[in-house]
Amino acid sequence: PIQVIRILMDNGVMANINQMVDFDTAAIVASELGFEAKLEVHEVEEEKETGEVPLWRQLIAKEDPRFLQPRPPVVTILGHVDHGKTTLLDAIRHTNVAAGEAGGITQHIGAYQVEHKGRLITFLDTPGHAAFTAMRSRGAQGADIVVLVVAANDGVMPQTREAIAHARAARVPIIVALNKIDRPDANPDFTKRQLAEVGLVPDEWGGNTIVVPVSAKLKQGIEDLLEAILLVSDSLDIKANPNGQVFGTVIEAKIDRARGVVATLLVYNGTLEAGDIVVAGTAYGRIRAMFDFRGRKLRKAGPSTPVQVMGLNEVPDAGELFRVYANEREARQVVEERLLQRQQRRQALPKASLEDLFSKVQAGETQELRLIIKADVQGSLEPIISSLNDLSKESEIRINILHAETGNVSESDVMLASASHAIILGFNVQADHAARRLAESEGVSIRLYDVIYRLTEDIEKALKGMLEPME
Ligand code: GDP
């Protein structure tokens, strides 16, 4: 290793022993040591999202443009809690079932389609209770268009802004559904001004955001909204190759006692058929049966079609990309390779832990300690935060409290910690079972305390590099 690091340094790369280097760099080192490096290309390697452009879109871009055909737009509805997302999704579902299908469509499989003027629109029906940021961001990542629901009596709220940020990050255009206009306290003009302030200038004011007044409750304005969606679709390049590679996204999945693993898949490209061998993450299997959102048996599903399938061997993660493979052996090989990679990744995971904070600071790898704090009551959060801030002032290492809230350590805390390399501190709280499991697989450290003094003492020691590993 020392020899490798020395050669890297001679070539101007200051690498430590755990660092990844790109292939070209590795090839130079190899040749200086008298070896020839060969690049091994793994399918798994390729399946990484680059930047914010979702993988499925990158994959469609690789299809031969001559074979691309228009496909229905995929729409997701985002907005602040209680602004009417669920009601709007239901209103759309019921007023606009594909011609002559009214009634009898009560299944929730996570996505559905409606017909407007002879054209299909696919709606992602993310659960209304989904408090997870990750889930909302996934919605925007999977869609061609975001419908942002803003209640005209309440205006732009924190989750409205968050939804806008998600849509922008995923580079997905926004249509505003100005909801609850039936309410006597609705103030559309005020809300539009607020929207303009956050960069969504209504088209009637010379901007380029379509704002459609609706009442989800009274089912008013729904046709106008669908019209707007088709209008925006026409200005975008919403295409796929129905005869190309078959891939799409897992919308949701669960275990059904009678039917085994039941997953909703949204096909983005190609045509999925019953009997196909599908791999999603580390789940795989032959599709035994396939149904549309009305619960009707389906043999084939083309681009933008949501389907419920049975036959996978385990529950895949929502948001995971799925692909069709030629045979079961190939599918199993891909899955085995992924399992191996996952295991290796886990072992090599740079866990953010208090114990190694100091050495990381010394190695110049970090300058701050990022924390997420959960406590039983607001009254305990305040003294914890203020003593941590005091410690931060005395130390070279900055303490950055990313998030402080009352309540048990939840899965979304762990997701945040994992994404931001933070440590979770809990005071007089527990970690949910799901949170503990996720923390383990993501390598996130959760430390629980029941005495404030012990908590601050540990942090103080960690800042000085004097913390002994926890038993
Ligand atoms: P979500 O949290 O965004 O999914 O919001 P919901 O769809 O659950 O709606 C929250 C509340 O607002 C419910 O009580 C709905 O009945 C009500 N609501 C939704 N849309 C409208 C509307 O257009 N007008 C009125 N007056 N109430 C609405």
Q: Is the pLDDT of residue 134 over 50?
A: no
pLDDT band at 59 (very low <50, low <70, confident <90, very high): very high
Q: Report the relative pairing of strands 306-310 and 289-291 from DSSP bridges.
A: antiparallel
CA distances 127 to 74, 104, 168, Å, are 16, 20, 22
Strand pairing report for 111-116 and 119-124: antiparallel
Q: Is the CB of 241 under 6 A from ligand 1?
A: no
Q: Where residue 42 falls among pLDDT bands split at 50, 70, 90?
A: very low
pLDDT at 330 over 80: yes
Q: What's the 305 CA to ligand 1 centre distance in angstroms?
A: 28
* Best residue among 76, 123, 154, 217 to mutate for probing ligand 1, ranked by most atoms within 8 Å of CB: 217
The model's pLDDT over 332-389, given as tens digits with 9 standing for 90+, comes to 999 999 988 877 766 665 566 777 777 777 777 777 888 999 999 888 898 999 999 8
Beta strands at 300-301 and 272-273: parallel, antiparallel or unpaired: antiparallel
Nearest residue (CA) to ligand 1, atom 14: 82
Q: Is residue 244 within a helix (H) or strand (E), and if so which, with residue range? A: none
Q: Assess contact for 88 and 215: CB atoms under 8 A.
A: no
- For the four alpha carbons of 238, 242, 243 and 247, in that order, the dihedral sign comes to positive
How many angstroms separate the CA atoms of 370 and 175, rounded? 36
Instruction: Please state, in angstroms and rounded to a whole number, the distance separating the CA atoms of residues 17 and 79.
Output: 45
Burial 286-306 (b: 16+ CB within 10 A, else e): bbeebbbbbeeebeebbbbbb
Q: Which residue has the tokens 């039983």?
A: 376
Is residue 135 predicted with pLDDT exceeding 70? no
Q: What pLDDT score was predicted for residue 64?
A: 93
In this predicted structure, what is the pLDDT of residue 403?
A: 84
Range with the poorest average pLDDT among 64-78, 256-270, 400-414: 400-414
Widest Cα–Cα separation across the chain: 80
Is there an atom of ligand 1 within 6 Å of 421 CB? no
When mean pLDDT is compared across 56-70, 274-288, 386-400, the lowest value belongs to: 386-400
Mean pLDDT, the chain, integer = 86
Q: Is the CB of 281 under 6 A from ligand 1?
A: no
The C-alpha atoms of residue 317 and residue 321 are separated, in whole angstroms, by 9
Closest residue by Cα to residue 339 from 282, 402, 405: 282
Handedness of CA 312, 104, 229, 193 (dihedral sign): negative
Confirm or reject: Cβ of 83 under 6 Å from ligand 1.
yes
Q: What is the mean pLDDT of residues 35-39?
A: 83
- The fraction of the chain above a pLDDT of 70, given in percent, is 88
Q: How far is the CA of 301 from the centre of ligand 1 (A)?
A: 33
Write down the pLDDT at residue 44.
42
- Best residue among 83, 87, 95 to mutate for probing ligand 1, ranked by most atoms within 8 Å of CB: 87
Q: Partners of 447 in the beta sheet?
A: 425
> Sign of the C-alpha dihedral, residues 129, 131, 134, 137?
positive
Q: What tokens were used for 104?
A: 């009898």
Give me the residue label for tokens 């692909």.
323
DSSP letters, 50-83, are -TTS-HHHHHHHTS-GGG-EE-PPEEEEEESTTS
Residue 242 Cβ < 6 Å to ligand 1 = no
The predicted structure's pLDDT at residue 142: 86
> Measured from the CB, is residue 130 less than 6 Å from ligand 1?
no
Flag whether pLDDT at 99 surpasses 70: no
Report CA(141)–ligand 1 centroid distance (Å).
25
Q: How confident is the model at residue 27 (pLDDT cuts 50, 70, 90)?
A: confident
Query: Could you tell me the distance, in angstroms and rounded to a whole number, from the CA of residue 77 to the centre of ligand 1?
Result: 13
Tens digit of pLDDT for each residue in 181-210? Answer: 999 999 999 999 999 999 999 999 999 999
Is any ligand 1 atom within 6 A of the Cβ of residue 63? no
Of all protein residues, the one whose alpha carbon is nearest to atom 10 of ligand 1 is: 82
- Cβ-based neighbour number of residue 255 at 10 Å: 10
Count CA within 13 A, CB hemisphere, residue 67. Answer: 13
Output 437 or 331, whichever has higher pLDDT: 331
pLDDT digits (tens, 9 = 90+) for 301-314: 999 999 999 999 99
Confidence of residue 130 (pLDDT cuts 50, 70, 90): very low
Q: List C-alpha distances in Å: 409 to 417, 421, 434, 443.
A: 11, 16, 10, 15
Among the residue ranges 124-128, 160-164, 409-413, 451-455, the one predicted with the least confidence is 124-128
Task: Tell whether ligand 1 has an atom less than 6 A from the beta carbon of residue 213.
Answer: no
Single-letter code of the amino acid located at 230: L
User: Which of the residue ranges 225-234, 242-251, 363-372, 433-442 would you say has the lowest mean pLDDT?
Assistant: 363-372
Higher pLDDT, 165 or 118: 118
